[in-house]
Amino acid sequence: MNKQKQDKIPFYKPQGNEVELFEHAYNNQLPLLIKGPTGCGKTRFIRHMAAKLDRPLYTVACHDDLTAADLVGRHLINDKGTYWCDGPLTKAVREGAICYLDEVVEARKDTTVVLHPLTDDRRILPIERTGETLSAPEEFMLVTSYNPGYQNLLKGMKPSTRQRFVAMSFDFPDVQTEIFVLLAETDLDKATAEKLVGLATSMRALKDHDLEEAASTRLLIYTATLIASGMPILDACRAALVEPLTDDQETIDALMEVVNATLG
């Protein structure tokens, strides 16, 4: 978990009306849910918007062991005795910050219940252990995200929770936007960037057949960074675009055939 206050606005290339939708949700004190595949730009978008709106950002990477106390806070002990320590959600409410719960469906369902009072017209956070009830200021915003393509019956968002949010869907950028992103994020030349995006498009077509996850824009940026720094293009593709997707050697070999056919 980390608090991040931006000194400058991180680069983000809009794909549609997501910036306007975020601003409308923020201005009307509405919680926001972002759905999309891993590595498509959800977290970068949130960082961009937090900086654009000049708000502190608290990011929580949700996981199976995340508890309500991890979000709200807990009593701790030091040499002076017991004291209360706010969790990131509580800090965000107190400061009027943006709280971003990344991959919220990974958290236990009893944990996400703590969000309910903040996602309706009450906009309050009861803290049972201290007896406080915090009212969220206008500047506070709750944002959550998850990958709907990676869900199962045990890790889906409850309809009663999902319907408390304004929602938007993300996907990988179109070809021209993804090329633009690679050129903006790295020192790669345009011709190689175009080839990499073409390669990613071919690899994404294999997702439903051999891969759990598609080749992400994030991995493309890693690959482009390695190539721009002087690494041979095939080695960079293997290290940053193929190996992270699978541990199966046959699948790795098949993907490298695609790489060689596209870039060789």
The yes-or-no verdict on residue 1 having pLDDT over 60 is no
Q: Which two tokens stand for residue 138?
A: 């206008």
Helix (H, G, I), strand (E, B) or coil at 251: helix
Of 248 and 3, the structure prediction assigns the larger pLDDT to: 248
Residue 79's pLDDT is what?
85
| Buried b or exposed e, range 26-45, using 16+ CB within 10 angstroms | beeeebbbbbbbbbbbbbbb
Residue 158's pLDDT is what?
76
Residue 5's pLDDT band, with cuts at 50, 70 and 90, is very low
CB 72 within 8 A of CB 91: no
Name the most confidently modeled range: 24-28, 65-69, 245-249.
Answer: 24-28
- Helix 249-263 vs helix 190-204: crossing angle, to nearest 10: 140
Residue 7's pLDDT is what?
52
Residues near 260 by beta carbon (within 8 Å), at least 6 away in sequence: 234
Number of C-beta neighbours around residue 169 at 10 A: 12
The whole model's pTM is what?
0.87
The domain 2-169 is placed in CATH, from the list 3.40.50.300, 3.10.129.10, 3.40.190.10, 3.30.479.30, at: 3.40.50.300
Average pLDDT over residues 198-209: 82
Share the mean pLDDT of the chain: 90
**Which of 42-56, 102-116, 180-194, 234-248 has the least mean pLDDT?**
102-116
Residue 6's pLDDT band, with cuts at 50, 70 and 90, is very low
Phi, psi of 80 (to 5 degrees): -100, 0
99: β partners: 58, 142
Average pLDDT over residues 170-178: 94
Average pLDDT over residues 61-88: 92
Residue 159's pLDDT is what?
80
Residue 160's pLDDT is what?
80
Average pLDDT over residues 84-101: 97
